[in-house]
Amino acid sequence: MSIALGGHPREACGVIGIYAPHEDVARMAFFGLYALQHRGQEAAGIAVSDGERMTLHKDAGLVAQVFTPGSLARLAGHYAIGHTRYSTTGSSSARNAQPFMIETMNGPLALAHNGNLVNSAALRDELMRQGVGLSSSSDSEVLTMMLARDSGDTWEARIKAAMRKWTGAYSLVILTRSCIFAVRDPWGFRPLSVGLLPGGGYATASETGALHTLGCEAIREVKAGEIVTLNGTALRVEQALAPVEPSALCVFEHIYFSRPDAVWDGRSVHHVRQNLGRELALECPTAAEVVIPVPDSSIPAAIGYSSASGIPYNDGFIKNRYIGRTFIEPTDSLRKQGVALKFNVINENVLNRRVVMIDDSIVRGNTTGPIVRLLKNAGAKEVHVRITCPPIRHPCFMGVDMGAYEDLAAHRHSVEQIREKIGADSLHYLSLEGMMRAIGREDGYCQACFAGHYPLAVDLSSVKTGFEQGIAWKEAL
Ligand code: SF4
């Protein structure tokens, strides 16, 4: 028996930047993007500079579909930035693929962005009023054009000036003729780390796992409000804007987005996920014979739940890993075409058993019910669903596509109504307090999608715009 996936929150891209003299930086960026593929599967691109000329290759598709040995060979240079895309603002067309590259009065410029500006509509209007034409609907192009127009003497000055006008989530890699800049917004929403390459040079990436893939050592985060310059023999670090206190790191990096081998906010994501499972077991003891994860992101939490509860852990599902994660695809029609990602139940592990099923989130509520049905059809006596975060009742404006208010299951329904609709024998969401205990901090993380308190002013009507552009699918609970 099998099922198509869907219904998780969707991430807004992965970025990478590499300065490595005498190395094939395009190939290194290619492998780095491979390690970030889970953050966006809609488009990929790499821009390279050899100190004089900048070249770019980007297209819609997976990293392995976009690049060939021939296209990589044409990207010669010492400096590279790359991007894997999942759209949040902007439609899903190939013209929104990143990096964006333009020629400016100060030489070529390329930019790749993870996040979402909440004031991009106003900035866009201002640019157009000044006569600037835009070729895409992406806020990342707005960032690029603003940098190109600023009159500062150096790129650092221009970036700093633009940062004062940008409100929202941005972890950026910016490529100029002979420099890479890693830039993070003062709230620190999205991750960005930097590391030392073994053969000399530096790399920066959305996740530390991508830096390890490149053999990096001495990894540090780009801190909130910082500009880190990658060229020459030493990193240059500038605190361009004062960090906002408390910070607003996206809690979903721990819950779902980042690979478990990532370190985010100095914490192992794998370890935090185990803690989330432990907290669930303590909050909601359940009589059952087996604990199973919905793979892959919930595996550490199920292990944690098992160790805290004493209920044996086992595999309940086998996930087909050879086909893309269809839920990353941003339109309903694309998703339907890509109904290839499948779960198969290991019947003997659930037959005649009371099952605790651990999952990371319920967003629209369109997939949990079918997954529960799979277990019941395979002979599970009872299915108790445990979710490693609180109910998602509010949309995200900072780069994560969760849908508008009316799309969110927990906005429209009570927990008991959701339990009934998904056909579970019980349903429990981890409390906000339990989640923060698992992370090991009381504050410093954005919790807006659970609690509705946004760390910056947002236009509550703007989330609808994204959906009208066809960014997300919607299914009835
Ligand atoms: S609203 Fe939720 S998904 Fe968006 S940045 Fe905050 S914690 Fe992350």
**Extended strands (E) in 266-406:** 267-268, 290-293, 317-319, 343-345, 354-359, 382-387
- Which atom number of ligand 1 is nearest to the Cα of residue 250? 8
pLDDT of residue 93: 61
Q: Establish whether residue 449 lines the binding site of ligand 1, counting it when its CB lies within 6 angstroms of any ligand atom.
A: yes
Cα separation, 45 vs 91, whole angstroms: 17
pLDDT of residue 366: 81
Cα separation, 109 vs 87, whole angstroms: 22
Phi, psi torsion values for 90, nearest 5 degrees: 90, 150
Per residue in 204-214, pLDDT tens?
999 999 999 99
DSSP state of 253: I
User: 411: part of which helix (H) or strand (E)?
Assistant: helix 409-412
pLDDT at 328 over 50: no
Q: Are 404 and 358 in contact (CB under 8 A)?
A: no
pLDDT at 64 over 90: yes
Per residue in 331-385, pLDDT tens?
554 443 333 356 889 999 999 999 999 999 999 888 888 889 999 999 999 999 9
The predicted model gives 154-173 an average pLDDT of 96
- Grouping H, G, I as helix, E, B as strand and the rest as coil, residue 108 is strand
DSSP bridge partners of 59: 44
Mean pLDDT of the chain: 88
DSSP bridge partners of 83: 15, 45
Length of the chain: 477
User: 129: part of which helix (H) or strand (E)?
Assistant: helix 120-129
- Grouping H, G, I as helix, E, B as strand and the rest as coil, residue 445 is strand
Distance from the CA of 9 to the center of ligand 1, in angstroms?
10
Q: Which amino acid is at 152?
A: G
Distance from the CA of 443 to the center of ligand 1, in angstroms?
14
Per residue in 12-52, pLDDT tens?
689 999 999 989 999 999 999 999 999 988 899 999 999 99
Distance from the CA of 396 to the center of ligand 1, in angstroms?
5
| pLDDT above 70 as % of the chain | 88
Protein residue with its CA nearest to atom 2 in ligand 1? 449
Q: Establish whether residue 317 lines the binding site of ligand 1, counting it when its CB lies within 6 angstroms of any ligand atom.
A: no
pLDDT of residue 95: 76
- Which pLDDT band holds residue 92 (cuts at 50, 70, 90)? low
Cα separation, 356 vs 354, whole angstroms: 7
Structure tokens at 237: 């670090």
Q: Establish whether residue 400 lines the binding site of ligand 1, counting it when its CB lies within 6 angstroms of any ligand atom.
A: yes
Q: Are 122 and 129 in contact (CB under 8 A)?
A: no
Top mutation candidate among 244, 388, 446, 454 for ligand 1, by most atoms within 8 Å of CB: 446
- Which atom number of ligand 1 is nearest to the Cα of residue 448? 1
Per residue in 251-283, pLDDT tens?
999 999 999 999 999 999 999 999 999 999 999
Distance from the CA of 251 to the center of ligand 1, in angstroms?
6
Protein residue with its CA nearest to atom 6 in ligand 1? 446
Cα separation, 422 vs 364, whole angstroms: 12
Q: Establish whether residue 371 lines the binding site of ligand 1, counting it when its CB lies within 6 angstroms of any ligand atom.
A: no
Cα separation, 164 vs 157, whole angstroms: 11
Q: Establish whether residue 19 lines the binding site of ligand 1, counting it when its CB lies within 6 angstroms of any ligand atom.
A: no
Protein residue with its CA nearest to atom 4 in ligand 1? 396
Cα separation, 20 vs 24, whole angstroms: 8
Q: Which residue is associated with the tokens 């590259």?
A: 101
The predicted model gives 50-68 an average pLDDT of 95
Cα separation, 312 vs 318, whole angstroms: 18
Q: Which residue has the higher pLDDT, 211 or 2?
A: 211
Distance from the CA of 249 to the center of ligand 1, in angstroms?
8
Distance from the CA of 426 to the center of ligand 1, in angstroms?
26
Structure tokens at 320: 């087909």
The predicted model gives 458-467 an average pLDDT of 58
Top mutation candidate among 253, 389, 398 for ligand 1, by most atoms within 8 Å of CB: 398
Q: Which residue has the higher pLDDT, 167 or 467?
A: 167
pLDDT of residue 459: 77
Q: Establish whether residue 389 lines the binding site of ligand 1, counting it when its CB lies within 6 angstroms of any ligand atom.
A: no
pLDDT of residue 399: 86
Q: Which domains does the chain have, with CATH numbers?
A: 14-245 (3.60.20.10), 263-468 (3.40.50.2020)
Q: Are 266 and 237 in contact (CB under 8 A)?
A: no
Q: Establish whether residue 456 lines the binding site of ligand 1, counting it when its CB lies within 6 angstroms of any ligand atom.
A: no
Judged by average pLDDT, the poorest of 130-134, 222-226, 273-277, 423-427 is 130-134
Cα separation values, 52 from 76, 178, 179, Å: 11, 8, 11
- Which pLDDT band holds residue 75 (cuts at 50, 70, 90)? very high
Q: Establish whether residue 75 lines the binding site of ligand 1, counting it when its CB lies within 6 angstroms of any ligand atom.
A: no
Residues identified as active-site = 13
Q: Which residues contact 280 (CB under 8 A, 6 or more apart)?
A: 301, 304, 305, 358, 386, 387, 388, 428, 430, 434
Structure tokens at 458: 């947002």
The predicted model gives 312-339 an average pLDDT of 62
Distance from the CA of 194 to the center of ligand 1, in angstroms?
23
